[in-house]
Amino acid sequence: MLVILTEEQILSPQKVCPTCLMADQSGSPRWHHGKLFCGHALQKSEERQATIYECQMGFRIANIQ
């Protein structure tokens, strides 16, 4: 499940991504085969942590298992 992380809350991509020009036709993040194509991966600090991505709009996105 993809979530958007802010300093104070966790948001659903369905609340943020539909307004993004980089979103797919359904208004979802461009997520394919475990990679975010509308952003870039940030470095993980531990192996067990989820990879954090930064999207083109500046939000941080995590794939939570």
| pLDDT tens-digit profile, the chain (65 residues) | 899 999 999 999 999 999 999 999 999 999 988 889 999 998 766 777 788 999 999 999 998 87
The pLDDT score that the predictor gives to residue 45 is: 63
Query: In whole angstroms, what is the distance from residue 10 CA to residue 14 CA?
Result: 12
Number of domains in the chain: 1
The pLDDT score that the predictor gives to residue 50 is: 81
Question: Residue 58, by phi and psi: left (phi above 0), alpha (psi -120 to 50) or beta?
Answer: left
Burial of 26 (0-12, 13-18, 19+ CB in 10 A): exposed
Distance (Å) of CA 22 to CA 16, 31, 40, 44, 47:
12, 11, 13, 24, 29
Domain, as residue range, for 25 = 2-63
